[in-house]
Chain A
Amino acid sequence: MRSALRRDREPKVDQFVIETLRYGTPLVYVTMAGVLASRSGIWHLGLEGLMIVGCCASVIGVVETQSIVVGLGLAIVLCVLGSVLLWFVIEKLRANPIIAGLGLTGLGLGGTDLAVQSIYGSQASVNAPFGLPRLGPAFGPYGVLSVLVVLMPIIVFALWLLLRRTRFGLRLAASGEHPFAARSVGAKPPRLRLIALCLGGVLCALGGTELALGSLQIFAYGMTAGRGFMGFSAVIFGAAHPIGSAAAALFFAVVGALGIRAQLIFGDQVPHDLLLTLPYIATVAGVWLSGRLRGGARAAATFGELRDY
């Protein structure tokens, strides 16, 4: 009786972990991009736009050339270009990072829509012939996950090393928190910000590719559905620490996966649309909590404006 119950439960646990990782991996990648930007002093609200560009470019690349490398490369190139554009607008034109970031998001959402409609006519979505390489049957039920899922913890750890244990990382943090001090030791905050944003662009491309080609193998308009903003909130929740923010992102993923689970178990008894709001509510609660614990967010006077004059 007991063993039967356990056998019944174990696959469900596996399923739950798989759902969490599927939901969470793209989220962790964009969150890391947000961590880099946040460290350099920019509140990155363009993550959503870069991510959808990553989704779209990787799928178009795969469809047109039948090569996953070209797809990923195209995604990376376009996301880095978008990041450079954002850097130019914020740093050189001194635009407000929040509004400029939202603009970049709009540009990504509209641009991918325009690209798909222009290239493939009025299709709602584009199917890719194949997706990212999977782990394979050697990993049991987890074999359905893509290689980028395994890469995720490595990237998080590498980012922690980069930010906390290297000269570059410390200078980056300095130029985010006190640009004047960073300058006094010979660092160039604008250049550091450019590097941080471009690295973030690469991470957004990876996140977008994982979302589009990891399990679904499809591009649909607006498929990121706020994940970029959720990643941004995870950065705030995790105080821009790579591991803390990744944990926050995974927490949002658990909430999202719980929603999916509850839907499978309880069916129509639970309103599906209201369950989908759970990650957003968790985000608000998390940001509220982190603000309380740290005695209020610092955005009061600055609202993310660069103070580097």
Chain B
Amino acid sequence: MKTRLIAVLRALAFVLLALVLCGVIFEFAGRAASTAGNPYSAILMFQSIAEGAILNRGAWQDSLRWALPLFITASGVAISFRCGYFNVGAQGQFYVGAIAATFVVDGMRGAPAALVIPLTFVAGILGGAVWALWPGVLRVKSGTDEVITTLMGNFIAGLLLVYVTAGILKDPSGTGQVMASRPVAAAYRISTSSGLSPTIIVIAVIVGVAMWLLVNRTAFGVLSSLAGRNPIMVVWQGARLSRLGLAGFVLSGGLAGLAGTVEVLGPNGRLVSGFLPTHGFTAILIALVASLSIAGTAIVSLFFGGLAAAGLYLPVLVGLPAAAIDIINAAIALFITARTWPGLERLFKHRAAAAGGG
């Protein structure tokens, strides 16, 4: 319990540090903006973000809309990180899942919804899982570093998305400017464009409960988190390390694909070229801030969902650049895996020595 409390405090401290760094950046950028006639202060920026995330009317529903898909992807990322594999390809898996889902829902137009919707979900999950499977196989079979393969997979998936939305899946009635698929028929949608519906909430809750049980109450969960910390130990226990790792990859890819499907059938309502380009990165952050705990991921998702909602609110209603949200996310990424602060270790050592002596 005490170690968990320390972990939470540590995460909070470094998030705070990141926000201070952001404050400095915003202050400078705000001063520079006076030449363009729109100066702002760091305080105004943070205040506007808070308004966009929770304070305004309807803001928290918006935040929840962004938090749910992020939570689904992030819980997958947490699983693969627990297995000791740095699957940083959530973005690509999210895209490929969305593409696969769109193929099914677009190809089966006219069929009954009770058939189409489940098949779409299966396709989306499979798409994401396949996009995580190949880096996983390369990693387990040939030792190819998964950080590079999954990163490259993100770029390839992004271009694949451009390709299908400009070609095979392109909406023939659409203008040349926006590359997108045909809108999903209303019968197959699982939410309106507001993005909050009982279906999506139920999906997120099911994912959350299932993943929590998997991590905390099954042999797979125990072994996988051991595999992340001490692979040799797991081999000695007689478990198949490669199989554990592959399962982690496939599970995280499948969940990212599920989130992609939710976005297509839910709030987006169609596949748009280059949609939500920072979804995967944010999901990785969420998993790390929550120090890979599933329950923690659920809570932290709300915070980052709020930031995502604020990112839409800033440019439209307050006229502030939305890049501020990307900067906050990046600064948190910079600091979140930090384990100490200069001098802090010495302080603890000193106290421990004093306690030992007394």
Contact = CB atoms under 8 A, between A and B. Distances in A.
Interface of B: 25-26, 29-30, 32-33, 35-38, 84, 86, 88, 138, 142-145, 147-149, 151-153, 155-156, 159-160, 162-163, 166-167, 231, 281, 284, 288, 321, 323-327, 329-342
Contacts of A43: 147
A299 B166 contact: no
A281 interface: yes
A284 B148 contact: yes
A113 interface: yes
Contacts of B333: 99-100, 102-103, 106
Nearest to B343: A92
B243 to A, nearest CB: 16
A304 B156 CA distance: 24
A114 B147 CA distance: 28
30 contacts: A86-B334, A93-B335, A93-B339, A93-B341, A98-B147, A100-B334, A102-B88, A102-B333, A103-B332, A103-B335, A105-B330, A106-B281, A109-B326, A109-B330, A110-B327, A113-B323, A114-B26, A114-B321, A114-B324, A115-B32, A118-B36, A229-B151, A233-B152, A236-B148, A280-B155, A287-B149, A288-B142, A291-B143, A291-B145, A292-B142
A9 interface: no
Count chain B CB atoms within 10 A of each CB in A93, A110, A281 and give the residue with the most.
A110
B163 A114 contact: no
Contacts of A86: 334
A153 interface: no
Nearest to A221: B323
Contacts of B37: 121
B323 A110 contact: yes
Interface string A268-309: 000101101100110110011001100111011101100000
Contacts of B153: 284
A121 B33 CA distance: 8
A43 B147 CA distance: 10
A113 B322 CA distance: 9
Given A95-B334, A104-B334, A300 B32 contact: no
B330 A106 contact: yes
Contacts of B30: 118
Given A110-B327, A291-B144, A301-B231, A120 B163 contact: no
A160 B338 CA distance: 33
Nearest to A114: B323
A89 interface: yes
Contacts of B86: 98, 303
A188 to B, nearest CB: 16
Interface residues of A, number: 56
Given A107-B330, A118-B36, A277-B159, A297 B144 contact: yes
B338 A94 contact: yes
Contacts of B167: 271
Contacts of B148: 229, 232-233, 236, 283-284, 287
Interface of A: 43, 45, 85-86, 89, 92-96, 98-100, 102-107, 109-111, 113-115, 117-121, 226, 229, 232-233, 236, 271, 273-274, 276-277, 280-281, 283-284, 287-288, 291-292, 295-297, 299-301, 303-304
Contacts of A273: 159-160, 162-163, 166
Given A111-B25, A119-B36, A288-B138, A236 B145 contact: yes
B326 A106 contact: yes
Contacts of A117: 321, 323
B249 to A, nearest CB: 15
Given A280-B152, A300-B143, A95 B337 contact: yes
A105 B29 CA distance: 18
A292 B144 CA distance: 8
B92 to A, nearest CB: 10
Given A118-B30, A296-B143, A283 B152 contact: yes
B29 A280 contact: no
A107 B331 contact: yes
B36 A121 contact: yes
A193 to B, nearest CB: 15
B147 A120 contact: no
Nearest to B338: A93
Contacts of A229: 148, 151-152, 155
Contact of A111 (B88, B147, B159, B327): B327
Contact of B281 (A96, A100, A102): A102
Contacts of B159: 273-274, 276-277, 280
